[in-house]
Amino acid sequence: MKRTVFITGATSGIGKACAQTFAANGDRIILNGRRKERLVELKEILEEEYNIEILLAPFDVQQKEEVFKTINSFPKEWQSIDILINNAGLAIGRDLFDQADITDWETMLQTNVNGLIYVSKAVLPFMIKKNSGHIINLGSTAGNEVYERGNIYCASKSAVDAISQSMRIDLLPHQIKVTNVKPGAVETEFSLVRFKGNEEKALNTYEGFTPLTAEDIAGAIFYCASLPPNVCINDLTITCTAQANGIYFYKR
C-alpha cells in the first residue's frame, strides 16, 4: 500500500537511502534537508525511476518558525502523513569536554534534539487527526553508551532515546507507533561533517573494519515501517559485525 513518508535530512546518507528504499515501494515522499539543489536532483531521479509523487520541504530543522510555517502549509493532499523519519542530525567535533567548542555543542543539540521536537510537534496534529501514524527517530549506539570525546553528541542521542520513550507513552491513545533506530558506525557523510571536512580523519573512522551502509539502515527502517498495525518495534540497535556496542570494535 502507498504511504506518505516524511524524511528529514534526505540529502545524504541514511535519509537519502530511506528515500530510495521507500520510493522503490511506490510510497509518496516528502523530502527535507537544507541543500535544496540536492533535494531537487533526488526528486527528479526518484520520479523518473519509480514514477512516484515527491514534495520538497527544504528547511533547517533548527529554525522553529520555519519548521512550523512550512509543515502547516503543506498542500492538503500531503497532510495525511503516515510515517515521519526524524533522521536529520549530525555530530560536530570529537574533542575532550574541556576542549570542545560550545558552538558545536549548541548546533548538535539544536539539530538532533530541538529539530526533532519541532518537526514532530508540527506533524503530530496530522497523525492525531487520523488516529494513526509512525514516528521513526534516528538515535544511535552513542545514546546507549557514552564514549570518550563523544560528550554532547552522546547526550543528544540519549535525549532522542528519552524523547522516543516519552512519545510512545503519551501518544498511546492516538495509536501512533514510535521506533528508536540506533545504528552503530555507518559510512556516510557523517564523519566528514564531524571532522569539519577533514577527509583523512573521516576515512580513518572506518579503517580496519567493514561498517554498516546507509542502505543497511534504510532496509531495517523499511522493515519497521512495514509491519502489521498491531506490531511496533520500539528500539532497534544495529551494528556491523565488527562492533559490539558504542565503544567496542574489532579493527584489523
Question: Which segment (21-29, 97-105, 139-147, 229-237) binds ligand 8X3 by CB under 6 A?
Answer: 139-147
5 interacts with ligand 8X3 by CB under 6 A: no
Give the residue at shortest CB distance from ligand 8X3: 140
Q: Which of 13, 93, 133, 246 binds ligand NDP (CB under 6 A)?
A: 13
Q: Does the footprint of ligand 8X3 cover residue 142 (CB under 6 A)?
A: yes
Task: Measure the CA–CA gap between 217 and 140, rounded to whole angstroms.
Answer: 11
Stretch binding ligand 8X3 (CB under 6 A), from 116-124, 136-144, 169-177, 227-235: 136-144
CB of 220 to ligand 8X3, least distance (A): 15
d(CA 213, CA 193): 17
Q: Is 153 in the active site? A: yes
Q: Which is nearer to ligand 8X3, 126 or 190 (CB)?
A: 190
Member of 4, 20, 21, 87 binding ligand NDP (CB under 6 A): 87
Marked catalytic residue, from 118, 147, 153, 250 = 153
- Cβ distance to ligand 8X3 smaller for residue 54 or 92: 92
> Looking at 61, 81, 185, 224, which residue binds ligand 8X3 (CB under 6 A)?
185
Query: Pick from 20, 140, 151, 239: which binds ligand NDP (CB under 6 A)?
Result: 140
Under the binding rule (CB under 6 A), the answer on residue 246 touching ligand NDP is no
DSSP letter for each residue of 167-191: HHHHTGGGTEEEEEEEE--EESSHH
From the list 4, 20, 62, 239, which residue makes contact with ligand NDP (rule: CB under 6 A)?
62
Write phi, then psi, for 96 (nearest 5 degrees).
-65, 155
Task: Kindly state whether residue 120 participates in binding ligand NDP, applying the rule CB under 6 A.
Answer: no
CB 64, min distance to ligand 8X3, A: 24
Q: At what angle do helices 116-130 and 151-170 cross, to 10 degrees?
A: 20
Rounded to a whole number of angstroms, the minimum distance from the CB of residue 192 to ligand 8X3 is 12
Site residues (CB under 6 A) for ligand NDP, limited to 208-237:
214
Q: Catalytic residue positions?
A: 153
- Which residues here bind ligand 8X3, judged by CB under 6 A? 140-142, 150, 184-185
